[in-house]
Amino acid sequence: MANHAFHEIYLHITWHNDHDRPITPEVETYLYDLIRAKCRMTSGVYLHGIGGTETHVHLAISIEPTILISELIGEIKGAASHDVNQRFTDHPIAWKRGYGVVSFSKRDLVWVLSYIQNQKQHHAQGTLSEKLERITTVESIQ
């Protein structure tokens, strides 16, 4: 189907560690490599950028229209936490149940990538994009 449909579906996705447990720099490098590999291996998913802070992850991707977003996010989060926890038993990762996902235009890709790459500075300086930081979790629904 995707071969017969025009599409420009760009998404910004973010999710948090459960209890905001910090992701160490060593774990972060391994985690981001795992997420990159998962995106590369998933047909119809194109990773443009990854970044975050010690408590959460941000992705910029584009997808083909055959991809179910909720399944994709669940698969990425599940595979990443499983593999990290197998390797770093002293720094386990557990993700909060929710996530944030917003679509954006191709013309905004450079801005979104810059925002993702500068996450630590944005959080330190308080220059956050409310839209890109919003995450719905089980706690915030209750």
pLDDT digits (tens, 9 = 90+) for 51-101: 988 888 999 999 999 999 999 999 999 999 999 999 988 878 899 888 989
Q: What pLDDT is stored for residue 129 in this prediction?
A: 55
Q: What pLDDT is stored for residue 131 in this prediction?
A: 56
pLDDT mean over 113-117: 87
Please, what is the end-to-end C-alpha distance for the chain in angstroms?
39
Does position 118 have pLDDT exceeding 70, yes or no? yes
CB atoms within 10 A of CB 1: 7
Q: What pLDDT is stored for residue 134 in this prediction?
A: 54
Q: What pLDDT is stored for residue 1 in this prediction?
A: 47
Q: What pLDDT is stored for residue 54 in this prediction?
A: 83
CA–CA separation, 133 and 15 (whole Å):
9
Residue 83 is encoded by which pair of tokens? 């593999």
Q: What pLDDT is stored for residue 55 in this prediction?
A: 85
Give the architecture-level CATH label for domain 2-141: 2-Layer Sandwich (3.30)
Q: Which of 77, 93, 74 lies closest to 27, judged by CA?
A: 93
- Kindly report, residue by residue over 9-46, the tens digit of the pLDDT: 999 999 988 876 788 899 999 999 999 999 999 999 99
Does position 103 have pLDDT exceeding 60, yes or no? yes
**Residue that the structure tokens 């386990």 belong to:** 92
Segments making up each domain of the chain, as ranges: 2-141
Q: Which residues pair with 119 in a beta bridge?
A: none
**Residue that the structure tokens 């194109």 belong to:** 46
Sign of CA dihedral 95, 76, 33, 61: negative
Our measurement of the distance from residue 34's CA atom to the centroid of its chain's CA atoms, rounded to an integer in Å, reads: 12
Does position 106 have pLDDT exceeding 80, yes or no? yes
Identify residue 33 by its one-letter amino acid code. Answer: D
Beta strands in the chain (DSSP E): 9-16, 45-52, 56-63, 100-104
